[in-house]
Amino acid sequence: MPQPTTSQDFFAAVAELGRLARLDVDAMRFAFRIERSGEDFYNQLADRIGNARAAELLRKNGREERGHAERLRRAIGIKLGHDFEPEASDLAPFAIDLPSAIPPQLLPGIVQGELDGDAGYQRWADAESDPEVQRLLRLNGREETMHGERVREVIALLGAPAKTA
């Protein structure tokens, strides 16, 4: 199985993770780091969106991305047979390059990314032998779709195009 590279860019890391067929411990650590950075991603979007209700929805997604990281931390601990204590490299945020103002055309791609994230989590759960790890992965996946729905709500609030690419 291909292992995650040392990409420091959030978007490249997300794309790389999405190509994995299964998650071993190293890949889960990579996903843990991405999910932690997902909180930063949504907070940065919220800071730049220019609409208080939209920002609130985006920040809620960010808080839940942090929850995804926590579930992954628990899943890693299950795989290791002991609590997983993240190292500094696991906690290092990815660089997130966003424009100073968020163009509405960016949002449908985020919706699609969240739907793709759900599909990835379901695929990884299908490839997992431990039922508790499966459960944690599936929970993360379902919430990714909920994030996409919130971003659709942001699109409606802003009057942005609703179609995904």
Q: Is residue 5 part of a domain?
A: no
Domain tally for the chain?
A: 1
- Report the pLDDT value the prediction gives residue 8, as an integer from 0 to 100: 83
CATH code of the domain in which 73 resides: 1.20.1260.10
The residue-averaged pLDDT of 57-78 equals: 98
DSSP string, 52-71: HHHHHHHHHHHHHHHHHHHH
Residue 5: predicted pLDDT: 54
Q: How does the average pLDDT of the chain come out, rounded?
A: 92
Task: Please check whether residue 25 is in contact with residue 76, taking contact to mean a CB–CB distance below 8 angstroms.
Answer: yes
Structural domain of residue 73, as residue ranges? 10-158
- Examine the pLDDT at 128 and tell me if it is beyond 80: yes
Q: Is residue 91 part of a domain?
A: yes
Q: What percent of the chain has pLDDT over 70?
A: 92
- Prediction pTM value: 0.90
Per-residue model confidence as pLDDT tens digits over 137-157: 999 999 999 999 999 999 999
Residue 76 belongs to a domain: yes
Structural domain includes residue 3: no
Cβ atoms of 3 and 23 within 8 Å: the answer is no
Q: Is the pLDDT of residue 38 over 90?
A: yes
Which band of pLDDT confidence, cut at 50, 70 and 90, is reported for residue 3?
Answer: very low
d(CA 149, CA 154): 9
Query: What are residue 95's DSSP bridge partners?
Result: 9
